[in-house]
Amino acid sequence: MSLKNDKRIVLTLDAGGTNFVFAAIQGNEFITDELRMDSNGHDLSLCLTTIVTGFRETIAKLGVKPDAISFAFPGPADYDNGIIGDLANLPGFNTGGFPLADYLENIFGIPVFINNDGDLYAYGEAISGFLPYVNRLLEKAGSPKRYKNLLGLTLGTGFGGGIVSDGILLRGDNSMAGEIWLVRNKLYPQLNIEESASIRGVKRVYSRLAGINFESAPTPKEIFEIAEGMTEGNKEAALGAFKEMGEAVGNAISDVVTMLDCLVVIGGGLSGASPVFMPFILNEMNSGFTSFSGRQFPRLGMKVYNLEDKNGMEEFLKSSKKEITVPGTNKKVIYDPIPRTGIGISRIGTSKAIASGAYAFALSRL
Torsion angle, CA of 305/307/309/311, rounded to 10 degrees?
60
Please tell me whether residues 73 and 149 are part of one structural domain: no
Please tell me whether residues 58 and 139 are part of one structural domain: no
Q: Which of 115, 136, 166 corresponds to the end of one domain?
A: 115
- Residue 154: is its pLDDT beyond 90? yes
Asked if the structure places residue 247 within a domain, the reply is yes
* DSSP code of residue 269: G
Please tell me whether residues 133 and 243 are part of one structural domain: yes
Asked if the structure places residue 125 within a domain, the reply is yes
Q: Could you tell me how many helices (H) and strands (E) the chain has, helices first?
A: 10, 19
Spatial separation of the C-alpha atoms in residues 10 and 277, rounded to whole Å: 36
Q: How many beta carbons lie within 10 A of that of residue 106, not counting itself?
A: 10
Of 365, 346, 303, 313, nearest to 122 by C-alpha is 346
Please tell me whether residues 185 and 155 are part of one structural domain: yes
Please tell me whether residues 105 and 212 are part of one structural domain: no
Asked if the structure places residue 361 within a domain, the reply is no
Letter for the amino acid at 107?
I
Percent of the chain with pLDDT strictly greater than 70: 100
Q: Which of 70, 98, 115 corresponds to the end of one domain?
A: 115
Question: Whole-number mean pLDDT of the chain?
Answer: 94
Q: How many beta carbons lie within 10 A of that of residue 110, not counting itself?
A: 19
Task: Measure the CA angle with vertex 286, ends 299 and 229; round to 5°.
Answer: 140
Contact present, 232 and 214 (Cβ < 8 Å): no
Spatial separation of the C-alpha atoms in residues 246 and 318, rounded to whole Å: 26
Q: HEC states along 289-317?
A: EECCCCCEEECCCCEEEECCCHHHHHHHH
Spatial separation of the C-alpha atoms in residues 257 and 143, rounded to whole Å: 22
Q: Which residue has the higher pLDDT, 97 or 17?
A: 97
- Residue 224: pLDDT band with limits 50, 70, 90: very high
Alpha helices in the chain (DSSP H): 44-62, 100-108, 117-128, 130-140, 199-210, 220-227, 235-260, 274-285, 310-317, 350-365
- Residue 214: is its pLDDT beyond 60? yes
Tell me the average pLDDT across 198-223.
96
Of 198, 227, 191, nearest to 214 by C-alpha is 198
Please tell me whether residues 69 and 146 are part of one structural domain: no
Contact present, 127 and 356 (Cβ < 8 Å): yes
Spatial separation of the C-alpha atoms in residues 343 and 264, rounded to whole Å: 5
pLDDT value at residue 44: 95
Asked if the structure places residue 360 within a domain, the reply is no
Residue 23 maps to which CATH number?
3.30.420.40
Q: Which residue has the higher pLDDT, 63 or 2?
A: 63
Tens digit of pLDDT for each residue in 271-281? 999 999 999 99
pLDDT value at residue 190: 98
Percent of the chain with pLDDT strictly greater than 90: 87
Please tell me whether residues 271 and 213 are part of one structural domain: yes
Please tell me whether residues 167 and 20 are part of one structural domain: no
- Residue 218: is its pLDDT beyond 70? yes
Of 87, 68, 69, nearest to 77 by C-alpha is 87
Residue-number span of the structural domain to which 265 is assigned: 121-346
Letter for the amino acid at 132?
P
- Residue 17: is its pLDDT beyond 80? no
Please tell me whether residues 271 and 317 are part of one structural domain: yes
pLDDT value at residue 1: 55
Contact present, 264 and 257 (Cβ < 8 Å): yes
Torsion angle, CA of 264/270/272/276, rounded to 10 degrees?
-80
Tell me the average pLDDT across 89-117.
95
CB pairs under 8 A, 24+ apart, for 184-193? 185/248, 185/252, 186/247, 186/248, 186/251, 186/252, 187/244, 187/247, 187/248, 193/159, 193/248, 193/249, 193/252
Domain count, the chain: 2
Q: Which of 88, 115, 142 corresponds to the end of one domain?
A: 115
pLDDT value at residue 75: 86
Of 366, 362, 356, nearest to 127 by C-alpha is 356
- Residue 334: pLDDT band with limits 50, 70, 90: confident
Please tell me whether residues 172 and 308 are part of one structural domain: yes
Tell me the average pLDDT across 168-180.
91
pTM metric for this prediction = 0.92
Please tell me whether residues 223 and 247 are part of one structural domain: yes
The length of the chain is 366
Instruction: Identify the helix (H) or strand (E) that includes residue 341.
Output: strand 340-345
- Residue 2: pLDDT band with limits 50, 70, 90: confident
Alpha helices in 168-234 (DSSP H): 199-210, 220-227
